[in-house]
Amino acid sequence: MRRHLLLVGAPGSGKTTVIRRTIELLRDRRAEVFGFWTGEIRERGARLGFDIESLAGERAVMAHVAFKGRLSVSRYGVDVEAVATVAVAEIRRALRDGRPGAVLAMDEIGKMELMSAEFRDAVVAAMDGPLRVLATAMSKPHEFVDDIKARPDVEVIPVTAGNRDALPQVLTEKLIGG
Name the residue type at position 3. Answer: R
| Coil, strand or helix at 79 | coil
pLDDT of residue 97: 97
pLDDT of residue 166: 97
Please, are residues 39 and 16 in contact by the beta-carbon 8 Å criterion?
yes
pLDDT tens for 45-82 read: 999 999 999 999 999 999 999 998 889 899 999 999 99
pLDDT of residue 109: 96
Taken in order of first residue, the domains within the chain and their CATH numbers are 4-38+83-176 (3.40.50.300)
pLDDT averaged per 10 residues in sequence order, the chain, 178 residues:
91 93 96 96 94 96 92 93 97 96 95 96 97 94 96 97 96 87
**Residue 75 to residue 64: CA distance in whole angstroms:** 8
Q: How many CA atoms lie within 13 A of 158 on its CB side?
A: 6
Mapping DSSP onto H, E and C, the string for 106-155 reads: EEEECCCHHHCHHHHHHHHHHHHCCCEEEEEECCCCCHHHHHHHCCCCEE
